[in-house]
Structure 1
């Protein structure tokens, strides 16, 4: 790419491209930074905070992923114990049964992403984790 091409492309980080909501968030962040004294965060304090976050989030993620794994494998376990025969499912019907999860996941992505932006993240993630 030549220097002329670089100059003709708009800079994605200019103030004209920042939305009003993001601008308000940036202003609030800057005010919090100034109220902290405007000094850089102590590396030891940052490490303590990161460790505290890791010790709370990682176990929750582990349990949620474990439950999702068990849920996905329960259909396989049921098939091994005669689920298809007991419910009179044919091969195609059984295949659709396994796909239902992914259709629900596909349809929930867009409203979930929108709600994630509009609602407080702690309440949203807590609700979705418990509701699954």
Structure 2
């Protein structure tokens, strides 16, 4: 079931991360996202050990082998993919935060070290 109430995005430097869909099953949560890279280098947003979904007091880690996520985003391009997080959301959850705790490859002073789309609104379960 898609719980996303409305898309939400964040821009840091010339990198934008948008949350396009939040699908909840009884076993996990799938988040479809789009990354747009305005830098002159390929950036890398890895799932394993560097992606998290937080709702309330619960934080789930991204599962790279269940996800359909291209970690590399070439210069001046966008990539859309899905990251699977190993926990279902609580039915009472009203928002989530999706975080990539490290962004590799920006290579410019003042470029983002991490990306977080905070307070993504959810529809009731």
- Structure whose CA Rg is larger: 1
Higher relative contact order (CA 8 A, sep 6+): 2
Whichever structure has more strand as a proportion of its residues is 2
TM-score with structure 2 setting the length: 0.24
TM-score with structure 1 setting the length: 0.23
